[in-house]
Chains A and B, each alone.
Chain A
Amino acid sequence: MAGGQGRDRFRERAAGATFTATGLAALLLGRNYETGTLADMGPGFFPKLIGAALLVLGLLIGLRSVRFTATPATTAAWRPLFCISAALLVFAAAIDTAGLFASTAAAVVLGCRAQPDRPWRETWLLALWLAVGAGLLFKFAFGMPVPLLPLAWGRG
């Protein structure tokens, strides 16, 4: 993690914008929650209070960013971010129908694509080992009620 010193102007501004946007979203999405009174707060009081505070704080952080200079940005890990998220979403989508083995293997293969130049042989082996390992750990050691194999196979 970058240290406290040498804060980057762009990064501070982006952080401020993120916070302001979140605060604004909280206010807009929660606009219909009853505010109530001070003595009898409704479900909307606290969210609106926090949302407004976040909005203002985000603006302050954004304004303060002029104090900092722009530093050369490091490259974001776009590819890993995409591959890891995709792996999790595929796992989530597949687990109930395709079973633990197949969805684990699929997640591992996708996750490994975060490093594009790794050998495929290693990827396949990892997928196999981790699928077996996840099956042993979660199905047999922890008794997770999840099918190991695709549902269709069990029925057919």
Chain B
Amino acid sequence: MDLLSHLTLGFSVALSVQNLLYCLIGALIGTLVGVLPGLGPVATIALLLPLTYGLEPASAIIMLAGIYYGAQYGGSTTSILLKLPGEVSSVVTALDGHEMARRGRAGQALRVAALGSFLAGCSATLLVAAVAPGLTALALSFAPADHAALIALGLVASVTLARGSIAKSVATALMGMLFGLVGTDLTSGRERYAFGVAELSDGIDFVAVAMGLFGVAEIVRNLEPGGSAGVQLQDAGSPATSRLSREEWQLAWPACLRGTALGALLGVLPGGGAVLGAFASYMLEKKIARAPERFGQGAIEGVAGPESANNAGAQTAFIPMLTLGLPSNGVMALMLGALTLHGIQPGPQIMTADPRLFWGLVASMWVGNVFLLILNLPLIALWVRLLALRYALLYPAVLVLCAAGAYSVGNSYATVIMMAGFGLLGYLFVRLDCEPTPFVLGFVLGPMLEENLRRAMTLSHGDFGVFLSQPWSATFLALAALMLALTAIPALARARQVAFSEGG
């Protein structure tokens, strides 16, 4: 069986002492930073990106993935205990999870979140392993025109399925593309937008972009008058680990299964990632519950379903990134950036060119979930104490992490200056109510789009018709057009606004 041999290879990589250690460290640091106020998964990964720089690629990406699950998990912990969701995807968990905590059942809520996440993580990992080879084979058959159309579809989907004004998100993505073009054009060897600055001739460092937009700008935003710097610790309830009763368990596990299925499916969609799944699962559980009025009052299915969905989606979001080279959200854009930092060309060829990295990462997803399960329940008391840390003491540490981290990437002060610049840009985005994620997606995807567009046009001797005459390319473009057209329908536009405005 092919799947089996792939997974064996993967586990042989992921279970090496060294990689187990990196996975563990990643999951721990990820949870630690994810729990800290004002730092969600994207910011956490951006901040810790330089720390993985010296590792070999497989270990680096395994550690980053660990950080990702850890941060995701840390976000659920804070939303249950404190109603402080670190990210949009755990907003839903806060609804009933915090209600449970307020009724003294924080332990049960955390336990069901951990078990649900674990179950979802395991199933999603299998799904990734099962689906990836087929998708990769398909992607390898793509012509340049198909790739260009797919990237366009990915960008369109990620702006329409994520929050924020579509026009502004598209513009932000275009802006990201322009910044991604800085440096030497590979085809002609000509420098673009580098202005003779040596540090720019290799392009803008991805770390500077990510840390500036998500790390530095976040600090300034949190220090705004009335920002989250003044957040007070709320009633945490008793985090004592307590067992689930038989009835609770019977309500919870079907919800976990449904959440996993929904989350895994919706997680593959660009822009959605973990968010859509969590929302959809909450809606579904509320709809099919025998007593829907319990929701919002501490219904255990309202924690079990979304938490499973959220985690399954976090895992399956890797599918388009690994097989098609298409990051579907900010976290995946960071992962893709991390791969390129290690000299790995993202795209379908990863699986064949670097099977150890690919299957090692897939297997490590499972390992990471095991670590989270065994580590987090005993460590909850510690995480809660961390939450009491004042932002006034925290942000100088984040600032130092940014400065020294950016410097360490190339041992160059220029990276620090560029990061400061992207910090300014990031705060400008905050003030203009623009999302930074499309910028990062554009930054990563822009050069790929250009390359494929050029090659497609060369192959077709300058005929744009190639994008419509090839079935895949035509399908992708039609889907992209359809998504844009749908958002123009007022009712759908309103529904989209409601769904994404709860991120707060």
Are A91 and B226 within 8 A (Cβ)? no
Complex: A122 Cα to B392 Cα, angstroms = 10
Q: Are A107 and B399 in contact, CB atoms less than 8 angstroms apart? A: yes
Question: Is A84 within 8 A of B216, CB to CB?
Answer: yes
- Chain B residues near A91 (CB, 8 Å)? 403-404, 407, 416
Complex Cα distance A122/B419, Å?
Answer: 27
Specify the main secondary structure of chain B where it touches its partner. helix
Interface presence of B342 (CB below 8 A): no
B276 within 8 A of A: no
B177 within 8 A of A: yes
Of B163, B224, B397, B430, the contact of A75 (CB 8 Å cutoff): B224
Find B411's partner among A14, A51, A144 (CB 8 Å cutoff).
A144
| A42 to B181 CA separation, bound complex (whole angstroms) | 13
Answer whether residue B408 sits at the interface, using C-beta atoms and an 8 A cutoff: yes
A64 vs B171: C-alpha distance when bound (angstroms): 14
A130 / chain B contacts, CB cutoff of 8 Å: 396-397, 400
Please give, as numbers and ranges, the residues of chain B lying within 8 Å of A122 by CB-CB distance: 392-393
A15 at the interface (CB under 8 A from B): yes
The answer to whether A4 touches B500, judged by C-beta atoms less than 8 angstroms apart, is yes
Q: Which of A42, A57, A76, A112 contacts B396 (CB 8 A)?
A: A112
Q: How large is the interface on B (under 10, 10 to 19, 20 to 34, 35 or more residues)?
A: 35 or more
Q: For the complex, is A88 an interface residue (Cβ under 8 Å from B)?
A: yes
Q: A29–B182 Cα gap in the complex (Å)?
A: 11
Tell me if A115 counts as interface (CB < 8 A to partner B): yes
Interface residues of A in 123-147 (CB under 8 A from B): 126-127, 130, 133-134, 137-138, 142-146
For the complex with contacts A41-B453, A144-B407, 14 further pairs of A-B residues with Cβ separation under 8 Å are A3-B500, A3-B503, A4-B497, A14-B431, A19-B168, A23-B174, A33-B190, A43-B192, A47-B181, A85-B424, A88-B420, A122-B392, A146-B407, A146-B411
Interface residues of A (CB under 8 A from B): 1-5, 7-8, 11, 14-15, 18-19, 22-23, 26, 29-30, 33-34, 37-43, 45-47, 50-51, 53-54, 57-58, 60-61, 64, 74-77, 80-81, 84-85, 87-89, 91-93, 95-96, 100, 103-104, 107-108, 111-112, 114-115, 118, 122, 126-127, 130, 133-134, 137-138, 142-146
Interface residues of B (CB under 8 A from A): 51, 54, 163-165, 167-168, 170-171, 174-175, 177-178, 181, 185, 187-188, 190, 192-193, 216, 219-221, 223-227, 229, 392-393, 395-397, 399-400, 402-405, 407-408, 411, 413-414, 416-417, 419-420, 423-424, 427-428, 430-435, 446, 449-450, 453-454, 457-458, 460-464, 496-497, 500-504
